[in-house]
Amino acid sequence: MSQGTLRMYLNKKEPYSLSTETILRLALDISRGMEYLHSQGVIHRDLKSNNLLLNDEMRVKVADFGTSCLETQCLETKGNMGTYRWMAPEMIKEKPYTRKVDVYSFGIVLWELMTALLPFQGMTPVQAAFAVAEKITCAKSLSFLKDNDRLFREKFSICRLLDNRLDSQCKNERPPLPESCQPALAHLIKRCWAANPAKRPDFSDIVSTLEKYDECVKEGLPLTSHSGLVSRNVILERLKGCVSMSSSIPVQA
């Protein structure tokens, strides 16, 4: 039996209502599925909550491979693929891309699990894409875009039209992370949707990180940095996995 898509499930939830345990379980299913796809040389290119199927056992399956391609062949295609709200900036701008576009999209999906919200609510898909790729967050620029969606679709020519209109203080936009977000998960999300694809982790790294966080939750341990003496090696290893940034943990002699 199926509950439908992950997006349908999240639409029925109150914002920020999913437990950390549930977030990790769903995120692990998604990242493991993507890890397998990438191990087979396949780039999904349209990873989003609407393309993730959820069954009655709350297990997720990656679906809809209509835009997928072999990584060795993807560079032969023209234009951008996927859905703007989840699309990596390099694909929006029709630049060369790698499997890391899926990692960016996963970062957006993980944000959805954290919030149960639609990414870039209040923006049209075109406005969201331009904000992500072209350092636009200014209301004036977004207002201009609202009346010029057609220009955007014509090979992103709107970029050149707006080059001299942008506020230099604007930055690459991402959905806002809630204050309640676990610091470790917030750090993972930021790594996944980094503007530089080289700074995004591989799915094998994501799976390993989420598995360690899951162990922390099961042991009743927080997902933030730790310090202090540790007497059991197994707990020490789990604590290392809970640290969102690299740090040293003193070990009892």
**CA separation for the pair 108, 85 (Å, rounded):** 8
Alpha-carbon Rg for the chain, nearest whole angstrom, is: 19
Could you please report the per-residue DSSP string of the chain? -EEEEHHHHHHTSPTT-S-HHHHHHHHHHHHHHHHHHHHTTEE-S--SGGGEEEETTS-EEE---TT-EEHHHHTT--S--S-GGG--HHHHTT----THHHHHHHHHHHHHHHH-SPTTTTS-HHHHHHHHHTT---HHHHHHHHT-HHHHHTTTTHHHHHTTTS-TT-----PPPPTTS-HHHHHHHHHHT-SSGGGSPPHHHHHHHHHHHHHHHHTT--SS---S----HHHHHHHHHH-SS--------
Say which of 29, 46, 102, 214 is annotated catalytic.
46
Active site residue 46: yes
User: Catalytic amino acids?
Assistant: 46
